[in-house]
Each structure stands twice: as C-alpha cells, then as structure tokens.
Amino acid sequence: MSQYNLRHDWTRSEVQALFALPFNDLMFQAQTAHRQYFNPNQVQVSTLCSIKTGACPEDCAYCPQSARYDTGLEREKLMAVEKVIEEAKLAKASGATRFCMGAAWRSPKAKDMQYVVNMVKGVKSLGLETCMTLGMLNENQAQELAGAGLDYYNHNLDTSPEFYGDIITTRTYQDRLNTLANVRQAGMKVCCGGIVGMGEEEDDRVGLLLQLANMPEHPESVPINMLVKVEGTPLADEADLDPFDFIRTIAVARIVMPASHVRLSAGRETMNEQTQAMAFLAGANSIFYGEKLLTTPNPEANKDMQLFKRLGIEPEPYETEHTEEALTHAIEQQMVDAQNDKFFYNAAN
C-alpha cells in the first residue's frame, strides 16, 4: 500500500507536524507524493477572465472589487457572450486548456443565469475545460450550470474557520461550505483553496488545509494564493509573508491532497523565477496564464513559457472528449443558440 493514499481523516497534529518538518524533508515528501499521481514535468495551464468587474457588496478585506473600498477600480458590466468567446479563443491559441470566468457578485441573479450558461456552452464548444466563480450558488443555480456542461466551479474558503471573521463578515464559512456542497451535488468538479499572507498564523494555514483535505472528496483543483496587496483595501499594508512559508503551504497541500491539482495562483507577479521553480518542486502543477488575474497583474504568457522551457516543464494536455464531428456539431448548435437567445447581446445590469 502506498504511503500517499487519499485520506480524509487528517488530524491537526499531523498537519502541524508536516509544517514543522525540516524544509528539505518536507520538499522530499511533497515531491514523492506528487510523482505518485502526476507527471512531475507537466503543469496545467488556465486563463482567467473577469466577466463582470467591481461593485461587489461583500467586505472581503483583500479584495479590490469590493464596493466598500476605494481602490480606483473601474466598474464594468457583465461582458457580452461574444466577447467572452473571443477571449477564450485567444486563451486557447496561447496554450491554455482551461478557461475560467469570474464575476464580482455575492451570487448570480436570475436575469444573469442565461448569459453565463451561454458562456459555458460557447467556451466548451472550443474544446476548452470550463470553470466559473460567481459567488454563492443555490441548488438550482448549481444544477443549471452543470446542465450547461460547466466542468469546475471555484469557491475558495480563503482561510481557517478561526481567522475567517477577521477577513470577511458579510458571508459565513458555512455559506461557503453550502455552495461547495451544492456544486458537488450537481456533479461538477470543485476548485477550492485559499489566500496566505493576510496576517494569519501558521496554525491558520494548518486549519485551511485541514478543512480542504478532510472534505468527503478533495477539491480537484486547489489554488494557493499569495495576498496581492492593493491600495485602498484593509490589507494594503500587511507585512510580506516569508516565501519559505508560502512554499511550505504548497508542499503540505500536495502531501495531504496528493491527487489534486495544486495551483500556484495570485501573487506570482511578485515571485522571482527561483521561488516559482521551488513551488513546482513542492508540488504545484497548475498556473493561471496571461497578463492579469481578474484585476491584479500576472506574469505575461511568454515569460511563463520561457520559464517552462528552462525548467523542462510542458503544459499538461487536456484530453477533451470532443471528437472532430462532435466539436463541429457543438459549434453549429452555438450558432442556433445565438439566434434564439440573442447570444451576442450584453446583459442589462
């Protein structure tokens, strides 16, 4: 029996012990677990598109999209479906295999659902994996997105239950868990992680990973974000997290969720190449690819490919279920939907 079988019964003391390992021992364990489930020289590549920016009513202390903070962010209405499809085509041409769409909502309104459903259908017709993050979902909304073919739904826990109230007060931890349960029940895959560097203690990073690792099913994708400090948000002046503490979080995530994609997510813009390479060694095997993540900078795509080449890393292929015939049919169906549902009109906000 392998040392790195999937477990859902991790104890706090076990996860604390992983964080306390000598750095080299922790990296060795993480790389060993990583190689059991993945090609160590492949990284899954995603592109993130903000389909609706700003004016969010929530008070997340890290977020420049909150209407409560003056960050100079220009508010934008929901993108036209046609524009989203164009962005997805560009992402695919640049090497992305998954296209993620994010909207700054507490939860989607009924009038918005048909538009996001059409976005999912259109992006899937291109042969890309699809992911959305739209805030909280009820059961019906989750079923509707699943019915459109959405592959992943992103809804982060952000941090530990104990520290959560210091970061957000307008949505409870249980609210987040309820959305994740609705996503699972609808049959979609889960993208769920958190943010480090928000002033939390190491035990809060332990608590976050404990929550994720002890879910009945591990999230298929686990984004680990480094706080991007934005002027005007409550965390703008937060002290920097030690890069080794960030790498430790990646490594422990890999060990306790060995079959999940661990995403090196927000904050890469401020990381040097050596830190990113160490994150890949620690088990990160997914990145966001492109010029920005929703509203904050991200390393340009060509720089990522240059680093991949130097490290001997290749983008992980996406084994799409579309045959050529099926893909042609899907595109034809989208043209019909465009006429029937005013596919290329923008949503009225």
Q: List active site positions.
A: 56, 60, 63, 100, 131, 191, 263
Distance CA 54, CA 318 (A): 32
Q: Is 278 helix (H, G, I), strand (E, B) or coil?
A: helix
Bridge pairing between strands 292-293 and 296-297: antiparallel
Distance CA 288, CA 98 (A): 9
Q: What are phi and psi of 100, to 5 degrees?
A: -110, 135
Give me 167's structure tokens: 């970061």
DSSP class per residue in 154-168: E---BS-HHHHTTT-
Bridge pairing between strands 152-154 and 129-133: parallel
CA angle 132, 129, 116 (to 5 degrees): 35
Token pair 């994740």 in the structure block, residue? 180
CA 334 to chain centroid? 27
8 A C-beta contact, residue 173 and residue 204: no
Give me 250's structure tokens: 């990646």
Distance CA 167, CA 349 (A): 28
CA distances from 337 to 83, 86, 345 (A): 16, 16, 12
8 A C-beta contact, residue 300 and residue 260: no
Q: Is 218 helix (H, G, I), strand (E, B) or coil?
A: coil
Burial readout 144-174 (b: 16 or more C-beta within 10 A, e: otherwise): bbbebebbbbbbbbbbbbebbeebbeebebe
8 A C-beta contact, residue 207 and residue 13: no
Token pair 């989607």 in the structure block, residue? 108
